[in-house]
Amino acid sequence: MLKFIDADYVANEISLMRDSFRGTVLLVEGFDDARFFDKILAPGDTCRVSVAFGKSNALEALALLRQRRLGGDILLVLDADFWRTTGQIPSDPDIVLTEFHDLEMDMIASGALDDVLREVSSPAAIEAFSKEKSKSPLAFLIDEAYGIGLLRFLNYRDSLLLDFKAIELAEHVDHDTLSVSLEDYLADVLDASSGTLDAGELLGAIDRASRAGHEKYQIARGHDCIALLCTMLRLKLASCPQAMCEEESVCTNLRLAYTREHFDRGLLARSIREWEDSHSAVVIG
């Protein structure tokens, strides 16, 4: 069903909303983003969230709505993905980006993950893990997701047309060390993709990219981090029922742990407030 939802559909939904609502429409990429803003929006009916079902739909819907001249403000909040890394910051004043790769990474970087770990793990398990790895669970998580993120970055930058959809990251995590086998993951990605790319050359490109000084929180993808975290919990860290180690449960707990105070400290909040000031509108208040 979702594959049939295009920019026209999104623009039409917002056009219908305009029949009875003249406040700000906050257009986001997906349902998880909408849930994120449910606890962030200012009280009252000054702003409503609409889901675009993807970044391209959001951008095209904005263009369509401007052509229709319906009145009312619209603000797009989009995942930065690799745009900050490549310098592709939109000049459009009605588009703001997440501070890091995506909203999940904004939440992970905020400190909210520490509260999640306190809920599903134990101080002893966290201390033992940190001692074994000589780094915190968060630092280990980001380091492991970074390599996968670099492969995704090269795919984006160089238009490699790699297919990641069917590849389960958890299947490439060593159960003893919890490290990701980038070589095995890449082999499965190449098997799932069309083309004749060489694995050795790609691993070399990943190595070179890793020495380019890219910001890890811009490269690592939130969904990959969540998948790795769930594996870490199941194998080493959890002191809770296994159901709480599933991705949906971890994502929910992360959103619950992420407070307005976390949000207000970040770049995304500052960007939205600058937009509010320039439009005399209220989104987050």
- Under the phi-then-psi rule, with left for phi > 0, alpha for psi from -120 to 50, and beta for the rest, what region is 89? beta
- Give the integer Cα–Cα distance in Å for 179 and 83: 28
Find the mean pLDDT for residues 227-236: 94
Q: What per-residue confidence (pLDDT) applies to 240?
A: 77
Q: What per-residue confidence (pLDDT) applies to 76?
A: 97
Residue 88, phi then psi, degrees to nearest 5: -95, 55
- Give the integer Cα–Cα distance in Å for 174 and 271: 40
Query: 70 near 225, Cβ under 8 Å?
Result: no
Please give the model's pTM, rounded to 2 decimal places. 0.94
- Give the integer Cα–Cα distance in Å for 138 and 57: 33
Q: What per-residue confidence (pLDDT) applies to 1?
A: 57
Q: Is the pLDDT of residue 171 over 70?
A: yes
DSSP for residue 27: E
Residue type, 260: R
- Give the integer Cα–Cα distance in Å for 48 and 197: 45
Q: What per-residue confidence (pLDDT) applies to 210?
A: 96
How would residue 211 be classed by pLDDT, with cut points 50, 70 and 90? Answer: very high
Residue keyed to tokens 């499965």:
188
Q: What per-residue confidence (pLDDT) applies to 277?
A: 95
Find the mean pLDDT for residues 4-27: 92
Q: Is the pLDDT of residue 103 over 80?
A: yes
Q: Is the pLDDT of residue 262 over 90?
A: yes
Can you give the length of the chain in residues? 285
Q: What per-residue confidence (pLDDT) applies to 105?
A: 98
How would residue 2 be classed by pLDDT, with cut points 50, 70 and 90? Answer: low
Find the mean pLDDT for residues 103-116: 96
Pairing of strands 47-51, 24-28: parallel
Find the mean pLDDT for residues 169-177: 95
Q: What is the pLDDT of residues 32-77, one digit of tens each?
A: 999 999 889 887 889 999 999 999 999 999 999 999 887 779 999 9
- Number of helices (H), then strands (E), in the chain: 15, 4
